[in-house]
Structure 1
Amino acid sequence: MQLIVAGERDGRSCVVGRTEWRHDPAATDVSATRVLELEVGDPSVRPVGTSEYRDYGIPVGTAHWNRVRFPAHQVRPLHYTNTIDTITVIDGSLWLVLDDGEHEMLPGDCALIKAVDHGWRVGPDGCVVSNILFGIPEK
């Protein structure tokens, strides 16, 4: 499994971090892996996007947790939001589209998107994700 962290470099959205991990299948007790720790109230994490802006109406300091099903082959063009997004692929596949290219995500993979330009291209079987969107201040 992997965690992709999407941030910005030189005003362009890109992968700024990637971590891979695997739970030990032989473990007989509960095991946990901290995926990330983030202070969502810090406006310095929000760069200015260059693509279409989408306001999801999530107030600063609140979070919305969603389960989303994307139909097969759907393309969501580049956009940026007033949120920091976490996404975990549950079923199917998709590609996280950033200025630096497309990044494949399979079941178990996660992404953190720090309000940068991003889009999605959904795989041939569709995709189900769990996402949490954290409202952050405008820059």
Structure 2
Amino acid sequence: MYRHLLIPIDGSPVSENAALAALKLAGEWGARATVVHVLPGEHPLAFAPAPGDAGNASAASHPVFRPIVAAASRGGVDVAFLLRQSDRAASAIVAVAIERRCDLIAMASHGRRGLAGLVAGSQTQKVLAHSRVPVLVFNTD
């Protein structure tokens, strides 16, 4: 089965629910997980020990990760937390999956259809189109 899941989150309830489901799977599979949140490139990081990334201890204290930190500790899953700065979230997600040697990306789909989906673009669709790593999509429909 899978040994290292990449779980991208965007701070939305849909994304949080998908992350919690992915953590449950990681626990069942005995896998570890890396949870990543991509911030816009111009967003100032208060902490950034490495270019483009924030270290695990600092990243885990970011508010977007709070529900995930609690669930991971309850589920006994080994989880790393990563903040990445990029104006291209999907590309950053794919890059992190390769850099961290993840063998599955597990992420939410917001289910935008029609004009809203076309205008906003789907980060999930972009990840699906460009990732060489398998992608598990949690659909909200």
TM-based fold match above 0.5? no
Question: Which has the larger Rg?
Answer: 1
* Structure ranking higher on relative contact order (CA contacts 8 Å, 6+ apart): 1
Higher helix share: 2
TM-score between the two structures when normalised by the length of structure 2:
0.28
Higher strand share: 1
TM-score between the two structures when normalised by the length of structure 1:
0.28
